Amino acid sequence: MRKLLAMLLVFGLVAFTYETGYAQNDAADQVEEAVDNMEEAAGEAAQDVEEAAQETAQDVEEAAGEAAAAASDAGGYQLLKRYFIDGDWRFMSFVLVCLILGLAFCIERIITLNIASTNTDKLLSRIDDQLKTGDVNGAMEVCKSTQGPTASVLYEGLKYADDGPEAVEKAIVSYGSVQMSLLERGLVWISLFIAIAPMLGFMGTVIGMITAFDRIEAVGDLSPSVVAGGIKVALLTTVFGLITAIILQIFYNYIVSKIDGIVYNMEDASLALVDIMAENNVFKN
């Protein structure tokens, strides 16, 4: 009886062990399959998240670029305005007036000189055509209908054709001096503003330093916060004054070079006129 019970117990343990192992294998397979599914889902989710993050980063970068461009456009004016206010409007206003008036004179001179520029070769050719036929009055009308100081000087020379070459040359030299003074009109004011602008800036510098030392004396402490305001005013007024002088100096040099070119063409055309008149036997004396 005991042997029978022992055998039944052994068979029961074997059957239980087999069922348990089989169940564990099924559970392990199910767990492994679930893990694979989770890994695939996690990979897809990570890929979606990465794509969304890239799109979001690109959108943010584009928006930041547009914002930076807009800020730079508006920032330049705002920065200039802030520095103008920080530099103490009492001094900065005078520097700004120098810049505006100086630019007004420069623009007026540039426009006038561009109008005064004349194609001297073409003008002399037309005068030569009239003098070949002996028509001095026609040559004078050609000069009269042409704009610029060169035509005016040649007109004055043709007026004295009957008095000989010496009279023509004298008239050209005399009237040429008048035209040169007209070309240089306004340059003295530009030079004045070029000189005054940095002086006003330096005046602001000196007054700003005086203010800084007054604050040091009143507080009795040499801390940066005490002297920063006065030194900032001093530096800003100097910078704006120098910038104004540099801008006006560039325009001034351009205007002077333009005047030199016109004067050279005027003198060259005057000498050529005397030769043309001599070749066509205009002088009677």
Summarised one tens digit per residue, pLDDT across range 167-188 is 888 888 888 888 888 888 889 9
Give the mean model confidence (pLDDT) for residues 278-284: 74
Q: 111 pLDDT exceeds 50?
A: yes
What DSSP character marks residue 164? Answer: -
Phi, psi at 194, each rounded to 5°: -65, -35
Q: 106 pLDDT exceeds 90?
A: yes
Share of the chain above pLDDT 90, in %: 15
Distance of CA 186 to the CA centre of its chain: 25
Give the mean model confidence (pLDDT) for residues 56-83: 55
pLDDT number for residue 163: 79
pLDDT number for residue 55: 61
Phi, psi at 283, each rounded to 5°: -70, 130
Q: Which residue has the tokens 């584009």?
A: 62
Residue 174's nearest CA partner among 159, 195, 188 is: 159
The 10s digit of each residue's pLDDT in 187-211 is 999 999 999 998 888 887 787 777 7
Give the mean model confidence (pLDDT) for residues 124-140: 85
pTM across the whole model: 0.66
d(CA 66, CA 182): 51
Q: Which residue has the tokens 């039944």?
A: 8
Residue 211's nearest CA partner among 92, 88, 81 is: 88
Share of the chain above pLDDT 70, in %: 62
Please, which pLDDT band fits residue 88 given cuts at 50, 70 and 90? low
Are 116 and 262 a contacting pair, CB within 8 Å? yes
